[in-house]
Amino acid sequence: MAKKNFKELFDPKESKWGGISFPMFLAALVVVAIVVYVPFGLDKEGNPGSFLRPNFLIMFSALAVFGLLFGEIGDRIPIWNDFIGGGTILVFFMAAVFGTYGLVPENFMKAVNIFYGKQPVNFLEMFIPALIVGSVLTVDRKTLIKSISGYIPLIVIGVIGASAGGILVGLIFGKSPMDIMMNYVLPIMGGGTGAGAVPMSEIWSAKTGRPAGEWFGFAISILSIANVFAIICGALLKKVGEAKPSLTGNGELIIDNSKEAIRDKEVDVKPELTDTTAAFILTGVLFMVAHILGEVWESLGIGFDLHRLVFLILLTMFLNIANLVPDRLKAGAKRMQTFFSKHTIWILMAAVGFTTDVKEIIAAAAPSNILIALAIVLGAVGLIMLVARKMKFYPVEAAITAGLCMANRGGAGDVAVLGAADRMDLMSFAQISSRIGGAMMLVLGSLMFSAFLK
């Protein structure tokens, strides 16, 4: 495959801007700029209006144009593309800068928030379920069963490595091991923001009687720093896999040398559009069932939450293990997954970036905090890579899923890390880390706050 270059981007005979030529892309860019920036009329509150209609199609296309602009450029910057993550990471960081420093209007930011993570659109709840169902259904049944027993212990090993790394560097800066565990390791390895830092701050508040914001403010800052390191490490692990092929399964997590292992069934069965449509409908129905189970679980008041995505993973695993899904439908699910993971990733990265506050990262950017956060991330990655092969996992994929996807900001962090590592097919394992691993950290946090806080 020929290496990408800047010259081809501006050749009118080429179609390197997401499949369209430079003149067509330039025209689309002008239209998006007019829709986003040009004031027109008044809105319902009497404020200056615009041409922006914040529906799914308009936001999808606007974010796509933004993503293509910086994504295609990022994929052609030599050092950035080779070591930082290419277009995927440049889209994320540029969107974060635009959002944080008000380089786009407020009405556009509100529309992005709805498109990305709020009802009635919430593109993230379309993207992640499509990846989960597509990836879990096409894993060989025997391989999937083997992974269940080994993956949770791998997460625990990652937490041990993260704790050791953080405590070791923390001692250099005069911080106690318990301070490192409660204020650094717990928020970083806790499953993200919404499912991790937020409920953990409430647990902290309940134990101390002080406002949750006291703990959360620092937690979200240190988590943001670790999230950046996790994304960069994802890109670096991709390069490690390319340099040392023996360390990677090229997107496969589990080492399985048995002849029975069959992967990517779409190679044998070519799906029709009806198969892909059926898979998308199946994904929606499974997500409905998962949501019902999540709501029922919460109503029982058991003491810890199981996110609906956890139930979605379990449901899809059951369908695969019980062999209840025809091969054609599995092939359609894989095609659906490929569409989202390969062709909409820059759209989602743009949306994630616009909702990321760069100032949160800057606020906690003291040298000691940066080094401690880095040590936690590297500690998780290092220990996992040391033991992964003995546990029948490929070291690179194990470090990405059980390590980096524990040390990021949950669902959005999973997308960013897997995008940087070019391992979007591992979304199901990333979600196990963020959800089940995050639930384990909530339990640990509750025990530690109860034992060591007054």
Q: What is the pLDDT of residue 195?
A: 59
| Residue 436: per-residue pLDDT | 75
Taking the C-alpha atoms of residue 137 and residue 282, their distance in angstroms, rounded to an integer, is: 11
| Dist CA 304 CA 156 (whole Å) | 18
User: Residue 214's CB: how many other CB atoms inside 10 A?
Assistant: 13
Phi-psi region of 258 (alpha: psi -120 to 50; beta: other; left: phi over 0): beta
Inform me whether the pLDDT recorded for 262 exceeds 50.
Answer: no
| Residue of higher predicted confidence among 411 and 114 | 114
Mean pLDDT across the chain, nearest whole number?
Answer: 86
Q: CA dist 420 to 168, 400, 417, 432, Å?
A: 28, 10, 5, 19
d(CA 220, CA 122): 22
Asked if residues 159 and 188 have their Cβ atoms less than 8 Å apart, the reply is no
Of 154, 93, 205, residue with least CA distance to 85:
93
pLDDT 10s digits, 266-316 = 346 788 999 999 999 999 999 999 999 989 988 887 765 666 877 888 898
pTM, two decimals, is: 0.73
Model confidence at 83, pLDDT cuts 50, 70, 90, reads: low
124's CB contacts (< 8 A; 6+ apart) are: 116, 117, 348, 351, 411, 412, 415
Maximum distance among all Cα pairs of the chain, rounded to whole angstroms? 69
